[in-house]
A and B are shown apart, each in its own frame.
Chain A
């Protein structure tokens, strides 16, 4: 029995996939076919990653590395991606820990308006009400006297939350839709993909604007929920296409055939066998969706349709800052620059992840 196993693997190494008897656990193909761009990434990293390291003459090739270890190593080599990762990490930590720290040290919260009317106005950064230097408001105050630092940090929480949760919503819709379409194929696929084509060319942001203008503004929390769903519901199209492509290239693999032969239901094949193997590109695209969604949220908040006061997001803070740009430019500059920095880092991180997880998609 052991003898047979080795010959089988050797046969596969020569490029001829051995016929696996139905019902036995299929052995994954050892070497991927060269030049096949539809090749799934899992296979690619296990197969070709080894070849690559072998070329560099390290001993890792013998041990073999997993997809994730390999990707992690490649990611760490990319300086810009590491920079992005660090900045994103810092922003997340600061926006989680920052508000309670400010509350404990200076007593300000994002919605604290000083009761004295003399304080209800914009002070420049590092300035006390009497004009002297002070650490209480490192980013100054807004027109009602609220601490801008506290608001920027809360804004970071909200913006990141909208980005992550909406991306998650789009992930669920896109993966389900794309995997179903790709696996079923034929007429169903045709119809489902035509629908995506149609949706692609619609001005969906206009419909989101109508939705938020007519249904929003009840309560801050309801508004947030509406944002999550609305933004998630319009960002899944590309995800669906990517997953469909992946599933189509995977569905003729032997392990899917084996699963089908042993009577696994279609739903289980899709979600237990196909989707996990298509995860690489999904993760890559998700990291790039987060900044895109954050930008859309900021756009809606800028128009006054997104996050409602006293809650704040970077977009709504920038929108408030624009009103007073001539006199109090810091009210725009602090939230605006923080947001740009966050998006910049997220984009670099996404690019780096793409290069690391899927060297074939790498843009040289």
Chain B
């Protein structure tokens, strides 16, 4: 187990490097950059800004700095005790690498004076709250509906919950979200249509419902099919034969079969959750990671794009590792 975790953590490093390189390469290969917008800057100012962000250096130096940043090496001006930049003999600002125990992604281009790290710290709570609450809601509703559907197979409950689940898979969240807004905000006037309130507020209800619909549906289907498979297994028959009561059989043996596919779905679900949050944040105008990511793409804010992609990749990889570890605990047949 310990060796497995170490191995996976070691794989994490090259994977993040691949993602960052891929994103960086795409941005670099594309024609135009942050400064080829509608408003042309005077050449002198553009040169100055480029020098400030290190964009005047050859590509390999820039690539090296991005990579160094991922490993926590921040390249920047050296500050003296009073917080002033130290100049060298020619009057140029002295710059060197400084190491932090966390990745450093440089300064954002669209939000001057803000580091990508600061933006990540500010936006992550919004997206994480949204994503986690939505996934928790999906787990509760999905597992319950799936269990009922499996235990009462071919009943009214089974058919109606599975039809609803299919609907949940088929209605895109950017259609569902505005429809919910139309009903609950613009017709019934009971929930706010957009914006982010402090955490326990009414604002979060519609975004969470919108985001969790598809996961509810998928989890309900997975639970149902997993449990139906287990209900016919020999060991469940044995459990019944040795005299366990039906609720006991379901709780101790059948539930496990229903939960396993859901646990293994959690890994890919997280990757999809990212795209889901992007849509929901745009519909409801929430100041989350996804919204910033899309805006960064439109304004070609290279450090911000790379920072968000790298950060999300690290997050997903770590979550996948946790899911695999959890899997080993739930299913004793699996050994690492």
Residues of A bordering B, CB below 8 Å: 198, 200-207, 209-211, 213-215, 291, 295, 298-299, 302-305, 315, 318-319, 321-322, 325-326, 329, 332-333, 336-337, 339-341, 343-344, 347-348, 363-364
Q: Does A339 contact B172, Cβ atoms closer than 8 Å?
A: yes
Q: Does B153 contact A203, Cβ atoms closer than 8 Å?
A: no
Contacts of B190 in A (CB 8 A): none
Ordered nearest first, which 10 A-B pairs have the shortest CB separation? A214-B30, A336-B175, A213-B297, A363-B225, A344-B170, A343-B170, A364-B228, A205-B275, A340-B171, A302-B174
Q: Does A298 contact B26, Cβ atoms closer than 8 Å?
A: no
Q: Does B309 contact A203, Cβ atoms closer than 8 Å?
A: yes
Residues of B260-312 contacting chain A, CB below 8 A: 267-268, 271-272, 274-275, 278-279, 282-283, 293-294, 297-298, 300, 305, 308-309, 312
Which of B15, B179, B181, B275 is close to A202, meaning CB atoms less than 8 Å apart? B15
In the assembled complex, the CB of A267 is this many whole angstroms from the nearest CB of chain B, namely 29
In the assembled complex, the CB of A215 is this many whole angstroms from the nearest CB of chain B, namely 6
Q: Does B309 contact A206, Cβ atoms closer than 8 Å?
A: yes
Q: Does A299 contact B19, Cβ atoms closer than 8 Å?
A: no
Q: Does A214 contact B172, Cβ atoms closer than 8 Å?
A: no
Q: Does A303 contact B166, Cβ atoms closer than 8 Å?
A: no
Q: Does B297 contact A210, Cβ atoms closer than 8 Å?
A: yes
Q: Does A202 contact B170, Cβ atoms closer than 8 Å?
A: no
Q: Does A340 contact B300, Cβ atoms closer than 8 Å?
A: no
Contact of A210 with B23 at beta-carbon distance under 8 Å, contacts A201-B317, A298-B174 already known: yes
Tell me, in angstroms, the Cα distance from A343 to B170 when the chains sit together. Answer: 5
Which of B225, B282, B320 is close to A201, meaning CB atoms less than 8 Å apart? B320
In the assembled complex, the CB of A325 is this many whole angstroms from the nearest CB of chain B, namely 5
Which of A203, A209, A319, A339 is close to B297, meaning CB atoms less than 8 Å apart? A209
Q: Does A209 contact B175, Cβ atoms closer than 8 Å?
A: no
Looking across the interface, which residue of chain A has its beta carbon closest to that of B171?
A340
Q: Does B316 contact A329, Cβ atoms closer than 8 Å?
A: no
Q: Does A347 contact B170, Cβ atoms closer than 8 Å?
A: yes
Q: List 24 A-B contacts (CB under 8 A).
A: A198-B15, A201-B15, A201-B268, A202-B19, A203-B271, A203-B313, A206-B274, A206-B275, A206-B312, A209-B278, A210-B305, A214-B300, A295-B172, A302-B174, A303-B279, A303-B282, A315-B174, A319-B174, A329-B182, A333-B179, A339-B175, A343-B169, A343-B172, A347-B166
Which of B27, B170, B186, B275 is close to A340, meaning CB atoms less than 8 Å apart? B170
Indicate whether B330 reaches chain A with its CB closer than 8 angstroms. Answer: no
Q: Does B186 contact A326, Cβ atoms closer than 8 Å?
A: yes
Tell me, in angstroms, the Cα distance from A332 to B22 when the chains sit together. Answer: 36
Of the listed residues B11, B171, B300, B320, the one surrounded by the most CB atoms of chain A closer than 10 A to its CB is B171
Question: Interface of chain A, helix or strand or loop or mixed?
Answer: helix
- A299-B279, A343-B169 provided; 20 other pairs, C-beta below 8 A? A198-B15, A200-B271, A201-B317, A206-B308, A207-B22, A207-B26, A210-B297, A210-B305, A210-B309, A213-B300, A215-B26, A315-B172, A315-B174, A336-B178, A339-B172, A340-B167, A344-B166, A344-B167, A344-B170, A347-B170
Contacts of A347 in B (CB 8 A): 166, 169-170
In the assembled complex, the CB of B115 is this many whole angstroms from the nearest CB of chain A, namely 20
Q: Does B172 contact A299, Cβ atoms closer than 8 Å?
A: yes
Residue-wise, chain B 113-146 has the 8 Å CB interface mask toward A (1 for contact) of 0000000000000000000000000000000000
Contacts of A206 in B (CB 8 A): 23, 274-275, 293, 308-309, 312
Which of B19, B174, B229, B271 is close to A318, meaning CB atoms less than 8 Å apart? B174
Looking across the interface, which residue of chain A has its beta carbon closest to that of B275?
A205
Q: Does B27 contact A325, Cβ atoms closer than 8 Å?
A: no
Tell me, in angstroms, the Cα distance from A301 to B286 when the chains sit together. Answer: 20
Q: Does A214 contact B27, Cβ atoms closer than 8 Å?
A: yes
Tell me, in angstroms, the Cα distance from A304 to B297 when the chains sit together. Answer: 11
Looking across the interface, which residue of chain A has its beta carbon closest to that of B185?
A326
Contact of A322 with B316 at beta-carbon distance under 8 Å, contacts A214-B27, A302-B279, A303-B294 already known: no
Residue-wise, chain B 11-40 has the 8 Å CB interface mask toward A (1 for contact) of 100010011001100110110000000000
Tell me, in angstroms, the Cα distance from A210 to B170 when the chains sit together. Answer: 26
Tell me, in angstroms, the Cα distance from A151 to B299 when the chains sit together. Answer: 29
Contacts of A344 in B (CB 8 A): 166-167, 170
